[in-house]
Structure 1
Amino acid sequence: MMPTREDAWALVCEFTQSENLRRHMLAVEAAMRAYARYFGEDEESWGLVGLLHDFDYERYPNVAPDGHPNQGARILRERGWPEDIIRSILSHATEVTGVPRVTRRDKALFAVDELTGLITAVALVRPDRSLYSVTVDSIFKKWKDRRFAAGVNRADIERGAAELGVPLEEHVARVLEAMQGIAPILGLDGSAR
């Protein structure tokens, strides 16, 4: 039986205390669900992959054989999660895990992961701290400034969109729209100024 979103959220809360990291996983979940709808795929499994992809990061931040996401995969296996979900999560760090991105779901996870961080950063520097005032143009304006959100790997975002077969601007727009749909949950609706 497929674990539920509630099961996934419980796991996230068990392993992750950081509100910002939890919000990142929620943003990736929203983007994954949007892509599942776009491609006519299973929204629940795609959402679970997005929600869980970094659940182990806070406890095992080292991206090495004994760190993230390998520890997360071990924990998920111990708890009986489906291997296809685990495989997709491992594929978002191919360089560390050796698990290639094969399925659309694998490619979507890689494509949205870094981008959600960039979009969040753009919203946080707006006067209203709101995703609702962020536009694709404002994202690309900040994109060009390599000092802004310097930790965001723009090359990975570009490569992810290309692997997914979606033009970069369309990709950015889809992920932004998905995140705007849960802006209050992400604390990026302007209410926390």
Structure 2
Amino acid sequence: MLPTRDEALAIVHEYTESPGLRRHMLAVEASMRAYARKYGEDEDRWGVAGLLHDFDYERWPNHDRAPDSEHPSTGVAILRERGVDEDILETIMAHADYTDVEATTRMSKTLRAVDELTGFITACALVRPTRLAGMKTRSVRKKMKDKAFAAAVSRDEMLENCAELGEDMGEHIAFVIAAMQVAAEDLDLNGPAPG
């Protein structure tokens, strides 16, 4: 079963209180939908996978990176009980590199490639007066070189996941920025910055 976007969003709201985490899932959804259009894939399927990929993270964050419990395993078990299609569940499992589920499909490789990058782009937008408006690839690249900025985000992981997807990093950054700009209002990044 492929949940509708409204059904997937209801699951997100049922399990996730944090506005920031909700916005992250919306950013990933926007990027997944854009890549699905680019690749000629099912936009709704890819969007739902992006929207649901972290819905369980707030309740079961998995700080120990256990491969078969907490996030994303717990969420996948919940979705499986609800009858969600296995390719979406596999994609969600594969987005976490500690689950031992390899990203072998284009959908799963795309989720891995956009997940960290959307978070990094959000961090970049939050320090800009115009947020996502007018953001350029070069400014994101510059922030990537600053190891103190968004230090928890692995630059190596972003580069590796982009390479696995087969995209040029500069083009990938520009593509994800553009996808997020379309959803900027929902992401609360449509600028200007408050105050």
Q: TM-score range by the shorter chain?
A: over 0.9
Deviation at 1:134, TM superposition (A): 1.5
SS of the counterpart of 1:97?
Answer: coil
Deviation at 1:81, TM superposition (A): 0.8
String of CA shifts for 1:20-47, please: whole Å, max 9, x gaps. Answer: 0000000000000111011111111000
Between the aligned partners of 1:192 and 1:167, the Cα distance in structure 2 is: 30
Letter in 2 for 1:111: A
Corresponding position: 1:143 with 2:144: yes
Deviation at 1:2, TM superposition (A): 2.3
Aligned to 1:75: 78
Aligned to 1:180: 181
Q: TM-score scaled by structure 1?
A: 0.96
SS of the counterpart of 2:102?
Answer: coil
SS of the counterpart of 2:103?
Answer: coil
Between the aligned partners of 2:9 and 2:185, the Cα distance in structure 1 is: 17
Between the aligned partners of 2:71 and 2:103, the Cα distance in structure 1 is: 17
Preserved CA contact (<8 Å) 2:26 2:187? yes
Deviation at 1:155, TM superposition (A): 0.9
Runs in 1 of length 4+ with deviation above 4 angstroms? none
Match of 1:87 among 83, 86, 90: 90
Between the aligned partners of 1:112 and 1:43, the Cα distance in structure 2 is: 15
Between the aligned partners of 2:154 and 2:55, the Cα distance in structure 1 is: 20
Corresponding position: 1:26 with 2:26: yes
Between the aligned partners of 1:187 and 1:61, the Cα distance in structure 2 is: 24
SS of the counterpart of 2:133?
Answer: helix
Which structure features the higher share of helix residues?
1
Letter in 2 for 1:83: E
Aligned to 1:122: 124
Q: Which runs of 5+ in 2 are unaligned?
A: none
String of CA shifts for 1:128-158, please: whole Å, max 9, x gaps. Answer: 3x10131111101111101000011111111
Letter in 1 for 2:184: A
Q: State the aligned residue count.
A: 191
State the superposition RMSD in angstroms.
Answer: 1.0
SS of the counterpart of 1:183?
Answer: coil
Deviation at 1:192, TM superposition (A): 5.3
